[in-house]
Structure 1
Amino acid sequence: MKVKVAETAGFCFGVQRAIDKVYELIGKSEKPIFTLGPIIHNEEVVEDLASKGVQVISEKDIDAPSEKLRSGIVVIRSHGVGKPIYDKLKEKGISYVDVTCPFVLKIHRIVEKESLAGNHVIIIGDKDHPEVQGICGWCQGPCTVIRNEEEAEAFVPPADQKICIVSQTTFNYNKFKDLVEILRKKRYDNNVLNILNILNTICNATEERQKEAKNIAGEVDTMLVVGGRHSSNTQKLFEICKKECGNTYYIQTPVDLDSEMFQCSSYVGITAGASTPKKIIEEVQEHVRIKF
Structure 2
Amino acid sequence: MNIIRAKTAGFCFGVDRAVKLTYDLLADGHKVATLGPLIHNPQVVEDLEAKGALTCPDVASVPDGYEVIIRSHGVPQTVYDEISTRRLAYHDATCPFVAKIHKIAMRADENHALLLVAGDASHPEVQGIVGHTKGKVKVFANLEELEKMLPELLQQESIYVVAQTTFRVESWEKCKEFLKKQCTKAEIFDTICNATWARQQEAEDLSQKCDHMVVIGGHHSSNTQKLLQVAARHAVAINVETADELDPAWLKDAVTVGVTAGASTPSSIIEEVLNSMSEEIRDDM
Q: TM-score, normalising length from structure 1?
A: 0.92
2:229 to 223, 239, 253: 239
Q: Do residues 135 (structure 1) and 129 (structure 2) align?
A: yes
What secondary structure does 1:243 align onto? Answer: coil
Q: Do residues 280 (structure 1) and 258 (structure 2) align?
A: no
Residue type of the partner of 1:45?
Answer: V
Identity %, equivalent residues = 41
* C-alpha distance in structure 2 between counterparts of 1:222 and 1:260, whole Å: 13
* C-alpha distance in structure 2 between counterparts of 1:195 and 1:78, whole Å: 31
* CA shift for structure 1 position 53: 1.2
Q: Do residues 206 (structure 1) and 196 (structure 2) align?
A: yes
1:251 to 240, 261, 267: 240
* CA shift for structure 1 position 180: 2.4
What secondary structure does 1:89 align onto? Answer: helix
* C-alpha distance in structure 2 between counterparts of 1:140 and 1:27, whole Å: 39
**1:124-203, aligned counterparts within 5 Å?**
124-155=118-149, 156-157=152-153, 159-186=155-182, 193-203=183-193
* C-alpha distance in structure 2 between counterparts of 1:241 and 1:160, whole Å: 38
* C-alpha distance in structure 2 between counterparts of 1:214 and 1:70, whole Å: 47
* CA shift for structure 1 position 196: 3.6
Q: Do residues 70 (structure 1) and 69 (structure 2) align?
A: no
Residue type of the partner of 2:262?
Answer: G
- Report what 2:80 is aligned to: 86
- Report what 1:190 is aligned to: none
Bigger drift between 76-85 and 253-262 goes to 253-262
- Report what 2:49 is aligned to: 50
Q: Which ranges of structure 1 fall in alignment gaps of 5 or more residues?
A: 187-192
* CA shift for structure 1 position 161: 2.0
Residue type of the partner of 1:19?
Answer: V
Q: Do residues 12 (structure 1) and 6 (structure 2) align?
A: no
* C-alpha distance in structure 2 between counterparts of 1:105 and 1:183, whole Å: 24
- Report what 1:40 is aligned to: 39
What secondary structure does 1:280 align onto? Answer: helix
* CA shift for structure 1 position 200: 1.1
Q: For residues 160-190 of structure 1, what are the alpha-carbon distances to aligned partners after superposition, in whole Å with 9 as ceiling and x for unaligned? A: 421111010111111011122333444xxxx
* CA shift for structure 1 position 47: 0.4
Q: For residues 183-226 of structure 1, what are the alpha-carbon distances to aligned partners after superposition, in whole Å with 9 as ceiling and x for unaligned? A: 3444xxxxxx3434111100111100111111111001210000
Q: Which ranges of structure 2 fall in alignment gaps of 5 or more residues?
A: none
* CA shift for structure 1 position 289: 1.2
2:110 to 83, 106, 116: 116
- Contact kept, 8 Å, 2:108 with 2:135, in 1: the verdict is no
Q: Do residues 99 (structure 1) and 96 (structure 2) align?
A: no
* C-alpha distance in structure 2 between counterparts of 1:82 and 1:142, whole Å: 15
- Contact kept, 8 Å, 2:180 with 2:186, in 1: the verdict is no
* C-alpha distance in structure 1 between counterparts of 2:228 and 2:87, whole Å: 42
* C-alpha distance in structure 1 between counterparts of 2:146 and 2:173, whole Å: 12
- Report what 1:262 is aligned to: 251
What secondary structure does 1:244 align onto? Answer: coil
- Contact kept, 8 Å, 2:10 with 2:264, in 1: the verdict is yes
How many residues are paired up? 279
- Give the RMSD, CA atoms, in angstroms: 1.4
